Amino acid sequence: METLLLVQLFHELALKGKNRPFFLKRAKAHVRRALKGLGVALEGEWPMALLFRLPEEAWSEAKARLQDTLGVESFARVYRTPPDLEALKAALEKALEGQAFGSFRITAKRTDKAFPLTSPEIERALGAFVKGKTGAQVRLKGAEREFVVRVLPGAALLEVERHPGPGGLPPGVSGRVVALLSGGIDSPVAAYRLMRRGAEVVLVHFHPFPLLSGASREKAKALAERLARFQHRLRLHLVPFSEVQRHIIVEAPTAYRVVLYRRYMLRIAEAIAREEGALALCTGDSLGQVASQTLENLHAVNQAATLPVFRPLIGWDKQEIVAEAQRIGTYETSILPDEECCTLFAPKHPVTRARLEVVLETEARLPTEELLALALKEREVLTYTWPGKPKPLPEEPEGAFIMEHGPA
């Protein structure tokens, strides 16, 4: 009897028609990369599943990694036995060691039609065995434990521990997007939601250093490192924004500062998107959550962009966003204190219904092209890869300072 790892791919991948082989190939490559360095070996492959030989001591780390691996529907620790009822009973007996539960069910899936018992007969035989060993009751709905048996040609697999994966599509199958990353709770969640839909996300963070401390840069780095667990390879552009802000503060009506900040952020992000080959931008806006996210202000900000601006959280409330941030592991970093761009010289009473003519009149007095060029020239670009040693991404932007980061 061997211990193996069975990975089931997200059910949506089966619905992709003629493109299904492409999606499945990317999903399987993503799973293999997630398990890199754990001593796993591929034992079997089906259209929607992978079977790995896994050292017992690597199970905990494999579980932690697969829970963050997009494209995975579920995964299970399984025992492989000969296709024999007595061998399956022996495997079940081992699986029951140290276990206590009041109800259970057996689910049998017989793909080897030469096996002498039907699926219901397997379920009844193994169910009687478990009931005799534990005294637990069979319950087809709402059972505390479920044991899944797969009878294949030449072998049987018994699932003894199953966990859900995150679902979603594997990174990169839906193209590339540039996501604006603040130090707050919302923007990392927005970036993650697009990763889940198969977008390869490039992060852009605007910081006020040296006018303020470098705390927001450090938060952005920590958030990028966490988000890299989902995408495995991720680039973060750190853009100094203080010079843009100094000009806006001088020329703009005080109430319009934040709207103008955000318009310039979109312009810079769009320039980076062109370098990166991205076809859209992403922000963490939630309609009406703060003054800058009223419909009128979003309209005024959007007018500065020519690429589509995705807002995955536009209809979410704060509690929903916080819950998702906690689930994906970005919340604790996001709530650390920092000093970010949009709080620098923020007006006490910001405009909530920005008039586009006021915005455009103000920008006509600003050296927009010079400010954009300066911000792009002075940025840093950091590349994160996970797991394993960092590898450079292709097409690094000209003139940018490139640094490589991997897990400590």
Where do runs of H (alpha helix) occur along 35-149?
A: 59-66, 85-95, 119-134
Confidence bin at 392 (pLDDT 50/70/90): very low
Asked if the model's pLDDT at residue 302 lies above 80, the reply is yes
How far apart CA 275 and CA 397 sit, in angstroms, is 6
pLDDT class for 388, splitting at 50, 70, 90? Answer: low
| Torsion-angle region of 393 (φ positive above 0: left; ψ -120 to 50: alpha; else: beta) | beta
CATH of domain 176-405: 3.40.50.620
Say whether 371 counts as a known binding-site residue.
no
Q: Is 245 part of any known ligand binding site?
A: no
Tell me if the bond preceding 240 is cis, omega within 30° of 0: no
Question: CA nearest 204: which of 185, 191, 189?
Answer: 191
Task: Please write the tens of the pLDDT for every residue from 143-187.
Answer: 999 999 999 999 999 998 999 999 999 999 999 999 999 989 999
Q: CA 329 to CA 334: how far, in whole Å?
A: 10
Judge whether 167 is annotated as a binding position.
no
393 is in an annotated binding site: no
Give the pLDDT score at 395: 43
pLDDT class of 3 with cuts at 50, 70, 90: confident
The whole-number pLDDT of residue 156 equals 94
pLDDT tens-digit map of 207-264: 987 777 678 899 999 999 999 999 999 999 999 999 999 999 999 999 999 999 999 9
State the average pLDDT over residues 309-318. Answer: 97
Asked if 362 and 251 touch (Cβ cutoff 8 Å), the reply is yes
Give per-residue pLDDT as tens, 71-117: 999 999 999 999 999 999 999 999 999 889 999 999 999 999 999 99
342 pLDDT more than 80: no
- 201: number of CA atoms within 13 Å, CB side? 30
Residue 33 has pLDDT above 90, yes or no: yes
List the chain domain ranges. 2-167, 176-405
Tokens of 289: 């959550």
Task: Answer yes or no: is 223 a known binding residue.
Answer: no
Please indicate whether the domains covering 2-167 and 176-405 agree at the CATH topology level.
Answer: no
With bands split at pLDDT 50, 70 and 90, how would you rate the model's confidence at 291?
confident
- Averaged pLDDT, 283-298: 92
Fold entry, domain 2-167: VC0802-like (3.30.2130)
pLDDT number for residue 344: 61
Q: Phi and psi (nearest 5°) for 258?
A: -65, -40
pLDDT at residue 404 tops 70:
no
pLDDT at 131: 95
The residue written with tokens 């009041």 in the block is: 102
Q: For residues 176 and 189, what is the distance between their CA atoms, to the nearest angstrom?
A: 17
C-beta separation of 75 from 162 below 8 A: yes
Q: Is 180 annotated as a binding residue?
A: yes
| pTM of the predicted structure, to 2 decimals | 0.88
Asked whether the beta carbons of 244 and 264 are under 8 A apart, the reply is yes
Query: Is 293 annotated among the ligand-binding residues?
Result: yes
Preceding amide of 164 cis, omega within 30: no
Q: Alpha carbon 198 to chain centroid distance?
A: 9
Q: Hey, is 97 helix, strand or coil?
A: coil
